[in-house]
Chain A
Amino acid sequence: YVLAPSKWDHTDLTYRIENYTPDLPWHEVRRVIADAFKVWSDVTDLTFTEVMNTKADIMIKFASKYHKDGYPFDGKGLILAHAFFPGKDKGGDTHFDEDEKWTINSNGEGVDLFMVAAHEFGHALGLSHSNEPKALMYPWYQGYIPDFQLPYDDTLGIQVIYGGKGPYVTFRPPARTTRRPNTGGYSTLAPPRKAPIDPCKGNFDAIAVIRSEVFIFIGKYFWRSREPKTILSSEPSTIHDFWYGLPDNVESIDAAFEHPTNRRIYFFSGNRYWIYDGNSLSNGHPRSGKPITDFGIPQDIEKIDAVFVWGFNKRIYLISNDMYWKFKESDEYIEPDYPRDMSIWKNVPIPVDTAFKFQDNTYFLKGKEMYKFYDMKMRVALNWPKSIEDFLGC
């Protein structure tokens, strides 16, 4: 068995079934889910209580393709389900691919919900995959097993984490704690900002390098300079005075970048975008903007936090909260298999305020903190973040 990096710090866990598959009667799904949890509670002191209307430790749902996390399902076959290791927000949450044919006690046809649920709950409790083919935590689906008993490998694994009871007790339970994880709501939006106008306080809406100049956007203002350390020596301009045709109801810019090949300038605000040639709207681009769904971004995404051209591969990336997308190489549509989870950009905080490429390096910003990214190692560089004050010469 292999342990995941996290575990629950309490043993009285709750779960909630957010929706049901049409493949099975709902009461059967509830029973199967309860039975799948029982697999784990039979060998530990863990308890699982279903709740109906409140946030639970383990949120369970059936979903298809993109479903608001960074791990879209792939249609029928291959990936059947996934779960998040214990933790805040999405931690413990378990998702089943609705494109599968879910069955109970199935022999051959369809996917047995109990077997998959029991496996996924192993992840939700803190177990990773095992290379023991007889183990429940073996990653490949083994089909329906009549009178299933949790194998020895999995029993030892879960008892290492939470202590045990039953035939294989090997480990004592760890000291209990009454602290519960933060089960507050999961928001896809950064908190609303009040229009700060001192760039040295951070909280940028967007930073972009356009025609070799650094542009800083905060609220309806922007500053520009070839040399960031002198950028505050001049007064800011307002976005509407300079970028002709930007509608009055656009009060701030969420993200901006200069396209690396067509040299056009893209602005994002809310769920719409505008394309500029210089400081005039591009020919034919409507003043009201276009929806970001044109790029293939899902409809439920309300804003783009950052867009940047990654120096490593010269590709365009869009970020919204804990998800990111990559444009296809030859056009302006997102690649399949996206969004992906922002954890790939190791140590970059989410949600980011903005991101930009400057002198061949990629920087992410949040608040007053600036994170230089180490492309080859795919993580924030050592000795970063640093205060934005250094960059701006505050």
Chain B
Amino acid sequence: NFSVDNEVRSSFIQRRLRSQERREMQREILSILGLPHRPRPHVHTKHNAAPMFMLDLYNTISTGPEPSGFSYYKPVLPSQVSPMVTPQDSRFLDDADMVMSFVNLVDQDQDLLYLQHRREFRFDLSRIPEGEAVTAAEFRIYKDLIQKSYDNETFIVSVYQVLQESPNSEVELLLLEQREVWAAEEGWLAFDLTATGNLWLGNPEQNLGLHLVLEDRHGQRTNPRVAGLVTGSRPQDKQPFMVAFFRANEVRFRSIR
């Protein structure tokens, strides 16, 4: 039962720990959490799209009956647009032991990139512990409403996996998914990356990223921003990201210290 005990904050008797006790307690809890050291994230804003989506998932697990006598601490989501957790995500979550979101490593805010008609995305999957298999993975990108557009205007969004790239030749691409979107559409688009995620996990050298290409109704490649696709880091609650659901293949034992 992952719902009842989460977020419980009881009126337990409290005692301030001494420095040494505190360090020992931190070490013990890190060991229980299976972490070799305390993470030091360089960016830890909870208002980026990926943490907000993950918090949505977390709250999906944590909403359960509240035992009497306990007060609950509920993380509060910012009021901006939140990446909605779909029923499909909830199903993925039920089967998963771990869910991880990945930030895009390609800086999309460089002006030069805006001249290109394709966008590149890269995600680092190299730090996944051994024995974890990807049960589902998605690339998520936000599409804003286009105000000045024809009612029936549509675009084709294509997501490709980069198979090979070298400075002297064309980039070799594999089409993963193609989707028609209306100009008036607004919300998160999720593209299936399950097979690609498993490939990247087993063969990190083949993780050369994704390309996104936008075409108008005449088949002309155009800047993804024209269709309202948010490819950069602003606004922060609409940043593109990758999410993967993992299931452990084997029982992992904590090492003896």
Are A and B interaction partners? no
Give residues in A with beta carbon < 8 Å to B: none
